[in-house]
Amino acid sequence: MVNIPKKILIVEDDPSFSRAISHIIEKEGYDVITASNGMAGLRMAKGENPDLLILDVMLPGLDGFEICYQLRQDPLTEKLPIIMLSAKGQEIDKTTGLKVGANEYLTKPIDRALLLEKITSLLGK
């Protein structure tokens, strides 16, 4: 039996941060696909069938809260594990993220070990 790598979609508008996160995740054996704005991210979340979504909050077009909310309303994506990442670390932002359906809400700068731990636990490895 061939072990097919899990696919992780990263929706992040900062190219250097997106590359850094992609690198960390790919080194762990995951397939990574990326989107750099809200609309592309929402489209890819629905069309690419990722196993997990890492979602920035502040994005051009649709913000992460809106994307998360829309994905939770769709039967095809309602169970998709979502980790929100944001520079917005205030309690209200975290509460909003979890309220719209994020499984985890992590603040930037991201702790590599913590991110990988959350990914592993959400993917049930």
Q: Which domains does the chain have, with CATH numbers?
A: 7-123 (3.40.50.2300)
Q: What is the pLDDT of residues 88-110, one digit of tens each?
A: 778 999 999 999 999 999 998 88
Model pTM score: 0.94
pLDDT tens digits along 6-65: 999 999 999 999 999 999 999 999 999 999 999 999 999 999 999 999 999 999 989 999
Residue 69, phi then psi, degrees to nearest 5: -60, -45
Instruction: Give the residue from 124, 72, 60 showing the smallest Cα distance to 98.
Output: 72
For the chain, the residue count is: 125
pLDDT at 125 over 70: no
**CA separation for the pair 99, 30 (Å, rounded):** 28
Mean pLDDT of 67-78: 97
